[in-house]
Amino acid sequence: MDTIAIASDHAGPQLRAELRAALEAAGHAVLDLGTDGTQSVDYPDFAAAVCRAVTEGRARFGVLVCGTGIGMAIAANRHRGIRAAVLHDTTEARLTRAHNDANVACFGARTTGVETALDALRAFLAQPFEGGRHERRVAKIEAQNG
Protein backbone atom coordinates (compact mmCIF):
# COMPACT_ATOMS: atom_id res chain seq x y z
CA MET A 1 0.00 0.00 0.00
CA ASP A 2 0.95 3.63 -0.40
CA THR A 3 2.24 6.09 2.15
CA ILE A 4 -0.15 9.01 2.56
CA ALA A 5 0.88 12.34 4.13
CA ILE A 6 -1.93 14.05 6.02
CA ALA A 7 -2.30 17.33 7.86
CA SER A 8 -4.91 19.83 8.97
CA ASP A 9 -5.17 23.25 10.45
CA HIS A 10 -7.08 23.99 13.66
CA ALA A 11 -10.46 23.42 11.95
CA GLY A 12 -9.69 19.88 10.89
CA PRO A 13 -8.19 17.61 13.58
CA GLN A 14 -11.35 15.57 14.04
CA LEU A 15 -11.92 14.92 10.32
CA ARG A 16 -8.19 14.30 9.86
CA ALA A 17 -8.31 11.66 12.61
CA GLU A 18 -11.24 9.92 10.89
CA LEU A 19 -9.46 9.95 7.54
CA ARG A 20 -6.22 8.73 9.11
CA ALA A 21 -7.98 5.84 10.85
CA ALA A 22 -9.61 4.77 7.57
CA LEU A 23 -6.30 4.97 5.71
CA GLU A 24 -4.56 2.85 8.32
CA ALA A 25 -7.43 0.35 8.37
CA ALA A 26 -7.02 0.02 4.59
CA GLY A 27 -3.34 -0.80 5.03
CA HIS A 28 -1.76 2.53 4.12
CA ALA A 29 1.17 3.95 6.02
CA VAL A 30 0.24 7.42 7.24
CA LEU A 31 2.64 10.29 7.78
CA ASP A 32 0.61 12.56 10.09
CA LEU A 33 2.01 16.08 10.04
CA GLY A 34 -0.43 17.74 12.48
CA THR A 35 -1.87 19.89 13.87
CA ASP A 36 -3.18 18.19 16.95
CA GLY A 37 -5.19 20.95 18.56
CA THR A 38 -7.80 23.58 17.89
CA GLN A 39 -5.51 26.51 18.67
CA SER A 40 -5.25 28.78 15.63
CA VAL A 41 -2.42 27.88 13.25
CA ASP A 42 -1.50 28.95 9.72
CA TYR A 43 -2.76 26.43 7.16
CA PRO A 44 -0.05 27.23 4.54
CA ASP A 45 2.55 25.75 6.90
CA PHE A 46 0.72 22.42 7.04
CA ALA A 47 0.03 22.41 3.31
CA ALA A 48 3.75 22.96 2.71
CA ALA A 49 4.70 20.04 4.97
CA VAL A 50 2.41 17.65 3.08
CA CYS A 51 3.55 18.97 -0.30
CA ARG A 52 7.19 18.45 0.64
CA ALA A 53 6.44 14.86 1.67
CA VAL A 54 4.79 14.23 -1.71
CA THR A 55 7.37 15.97 -3.90
CA GLU A 56 10.29 14.42 -2.00
CA GLY A 57 8.80 10.96 -2.48
CA ARG A 58 8.14 10.24 1.20
CA ALA A 59 4.43 9.94 0.37
CA ARG A 60 2.60 9.05 -2.83
CA PHE A 61 -0.44 11.19 -2.02
CA GLY A 62 -1.35 13.97 0.36
CA VAL A 63 -4.53 14.76 2.26
CA LEU A 64 -5.22 18.22 3.67
CA VAL A 65 -8.09 19.43 5.86
CA CYS A 66 -9.11 22.95 6.80
CA GLY A 67 -12.47 24.64 7.31
CA THR A 68 -13.49 24.53 3.64
CA GLY A 69 -10.54 22.82 1.95
CA ILE A 70 -10.12 25.88 -0.24
CA GLY A 71 -7.26 27.54 1.65
CA MET A 72 -5.32 24.30 1.77
CA ALA A 73 -5.84 23.72 -1.97
CA ILE A 74 -4.70 27.23 -2.84
CA ALA A 75 -1.60 26.89 -0.66
CA ALA A 76 -0.81 23.39 -1.94
CA ASN A 77 -1.11 24.33 -5.59
CA ARG A 78 1.65 26.90 -5.16
CA HIS A 79 4.12 24.00 -4.89
CA ARG A 80 5.72 22.64 -8.05
CA GLY A 81 4.59 19.09 -8.77
CA ILE A 82 1.44 19.35 -6.69
CA ARG A 83 -2.04 19.14 -8.13
CA ALA A 84 -4.50 19.59 -5.28
CA ALA A 85 -8.28 19.57 -5.47
CA VAL A 86 -11.06 20.23 -3.00
CA LEU A 87 -13.31 17.17 -2.96
CA HIS A 88 -17.01 17.16 -2.13
CA ASP A 89 -18.01 13.79 -3.59
CA THR A 90 -16.78 10.64 -5.30
CA THR A 91 -17.34 12.00 -8.80
CA GLU A 92 -14.95 14.88 -8.22
CA ALA A 93 -12.49 12.49 -6.58
CA ARG A 94 -12.49 10.07 -9.52
CA LEU A 95 -12.31 12.76 -12.19
CA THR A 96 -9.53 14.80 -10.61
CA ARG A 97 -7.37 11.68 -10.45
CA ALA A 98 -8.37 10.39 -13.90
CA HIS A 99 -8.06 13.70 -15.74
CA ASN A 100 -5.75 15.88 -13.66
CA ASP A 101 -3.48 13.30 -12.00
CA ALA A 102 -4.20 15.09 -8.72
CA ASN A 103 -1.91 14.01 -5.92
CA VAL A 104 -3.39 15.93 -2.98
CA ALA A 105 -6.99 15.66 -1.79
CA CYS A 106 -8.36 18.58 0.22
CA PHE A 107 -11.42 18.47 2.45
CA GLY A 108 -13.48 21.01 4.34
CA ALA A 109 -14.16 19.98 7.92
CA ARG A 110 -16.95 22.56 8.13
CA THR A 111 -18.48 21.75 4.74
CA THR A 112 -18.12 18.01 4.12
CA GLY A 113 -19.48 15.22 6.30
CA VAL A 114 -17.24 12.44 7.52
CA GLU A 115 -18.85 9.67 5.45
CA THR A 116 -18.77 11.77 2.29
CA ALA A 117 -15.10 12.60 2.87
CA LEU A 118 -14.27 8.94 3.51
CA ASP A 119 -16.04 7.85 0.32
CA ALA A 120 -14.32 10.57 -1.70
CA LEU A 121 -10.90 9.67 -0.31
CA ARG A 122 -11.38 5.99 -1.15
CA ALA A 123 -12.42 6.92 -4.70
CA PHE A 124 -9.47 9.30 -5.04
CA LEU A 125 -6.94 6.66 -4.02
CA ALA A 126 -8.49 3.91 -6.14
CA GLN A 127 -8.68 5.87 -9.40
CA PRO A 128 -5.65 5.72 -11.70
CA PHE A 129 -4.63 8.58 -13.97
CA GLU A 130 -6.02 7.95 -17.48
CA GLY A 131 -3.09 9.53 -19.30
CA GLY A 132 -3.67 9.97 -23.03
CA ARG A 133 -4.97 13.42 -23.93
CA HIS A 134 -4.83 14.38 -20.24
CA GLU A 135 -1.03 13.98 -20.12
CA ARG A 136 -0.60 16.96 -22.45
CA ARG A 137 -2.76 19.13 -20.19
CA VAL A 138 -1.02 18.09 -16.99
CA ALA A 139 2.34 18.81 -18.66
CA LYS A 140 1.13 22.33 -19.48
CA ILE A 141 0.12 22.89 -15.86
CA GLU A 142 3.55 21.79 -14.69
CA ALA A 143 5.30 23.96 -17.28
CA GLN A 144 3.32 27.01 -16.10
CA ASN A 145 4.13 26.26 -12.48
CA GLY A 146 7.61 27.23 -13.02
Q: Which residues are catalytic?
A: 66, 99
Report the half-sphere exposure of 113 (CA within 13 A, side-chain side): 5
Beta strands in 34-108 (DSSP E): 61-66, 84-86, 104-108
- If you compute the radius of gyration of the chain from its CA atoms, what whole number of angstroms results? 14
Beta strands in 1-146 (DSSP E): 3-8, 29-32, 61-66, 84-86, 104-108
Dihedral in degrees, nearest 10, Cα atoms 22, 23, 29, 30: -90
